[in-house]
A = this chain, B = another copy of it.
């Protein structure tokens, strides 16, 4: 699974952060985890309408392999899976929160046509 490569040894901590959260939908996915601690595949799919099933699976897999989220599979029919942030993943919440906050500011700004 390829992804953007950042040379984190360059001394730019922002690159390290991007290494983990720069996937096209990762920050959005993490935002949902922030709002709801346990998430399911279908739920996320419905919430993030522009992200295809394929992309959602890829992004979740990368987040899982980076230790940001973990999943629990219930061996039932139909299949059910719980996803949640790991303790490590929770440390990203402030980053997502600051993005949420700025996004709200920006949306309001656009609404008011200040720009």
Contact = CB atoms under 8 A, between A and B. Distances in A.
Nearest to A67: B115
Interface of A: 4-8, 10, 12-18, 20, 22, 24, 27-28, 31, 48-50, 67, 88, 91-92, 94-107, 115
Contacts of A101: 13, 94
Given A67-B115, A88-B115, A105-B91, A100 B8 contact: no
Given A7-B49, A115-B88, A20 B106 contact: yes
B12 A28 contact: yes
Interface centre among A16, A17, A101, A106 (most CB of B within 10 A): A17
Contacts of A15: 28, 103
